[in-house]
Structure 1
Amino acid sequence: MNAKTISILKSIGAVFTGILINVIPAIAIDAVLHITNCYPPMGERMSDGLFLLASSYRLALAILGGFFTAKFSPHSPIGHVITLGVIGTIASTLGHIQMGDQGPAWYSIGLIVISIPLSLLGGFIFLKRKG
């Protein structure tokens, strides 16, 4: 493989890592909270307070995803983080459409709005720590 191919693969890996850091823990936390009856059964609407709880760990995961995307990017970490944020915005928009009236609009719209800024925050935190 040539250097350009390796760089492209590293770029894909950096963004994919950010996606995994966002998605896998969120799904796992959701599952645990459903299994332990902290959340109602799937398909039943949660209270706004529980949506606030879900927002809190999703916010933290978005920052963490941005941090590691920047860390693993082979070049231009902020460009990679913006790519992650755009993917998050698209995924959150699809989630908003799928969610319908199963939750408050502020929750799903909030996830759409914060995807890019929180990914960027994670990237900036990485760059600040890197020096």
Structure 2
Amino acid sequence: MNTQATSQQGRARRIGRSVGAVLAGFLAVVVLSLGTDQLFHVLGVYPAWGQPMHEPGLNLLALGYRIVYTVVGGYITARLAPHSPMTHVWVLAFIGLLLGTAGAIATIPMDIGPRWYPIALAATALPCTWLGGKLFRERSPRR
């Protein structure tokens, strides 16, 4: 095997690990958020799926744990990144911002809850994901 083929395999493996790091952070946020939602629906804290949830306190609760999970997602992404952890974190953050913005645009006209909630989800994507990456960087022995 020649050096060029080995180099290309190494690059492909690094790209795969980079995609995996971002995907793992994203999936952590989604799975934790939806799992907690389901738990609160089953416990009767939230109304049944498909029903509007206009109660500000319940929306603050959902926003609170989603903020925590977004920080966790940023941390996971930074931890799994094969190199440049904060670059990977920023990729995840912008994916969150784009999906949050699309979600706000789609759901605000549906009147399924307060309008501020989907806007807050989009607005917190960047700072919370960044915080997760920063926490990893602060705790990481390699600086």
TM-score (norm 1): 0.95
1:102 is matched with which residue: 98, 112, 117? 112
In structure 1, the partner of 2:51 is 44
Q: CA RMSD in A?
A: 1.1
- Alpha-carbon offset, residue 97 of structure 1: 2.3
- Find out whether 1:15 has 2:25 as its counterpart: no
In structure 2, the partner of 1:54 is 62
Give % identity.
38
48-57 or 28-37: bigger deviation? 28-37
TM-score (norm 2): 0.87
User: Any runs of at least 4 consecutive aligned residues in structure 1 with deviations exceeding 3 A, and if so which?
Assistant: none
Superimposed CA distance per residue, residues 44-98 of structure 1 (whole angstroms, 9 cap, x where no aligned partner) = 2221100000001100000000001001001111110000011111111122123
Q: What are structure 1's unaligned runs of at least 5 residues?
A: none
SS at structure 1 position matched to 2:118: helix
Equivalenced residue count is 131
**Counterpart code for 1:39:** Y
1:86 is matched with which residue: 91, 94, 99? 94
- Find out whether 1:125 has 2:135 as its counterpart: yes
**Counterpart code for 1:30:** D
- Find out whether 1:71 has 2:79 as its counterpart: yes
- Alpha-carbon offset, residue 104 of structure 1: 1.3
- Alpha-carbon offset, residue 41 of structure 1: 1.2
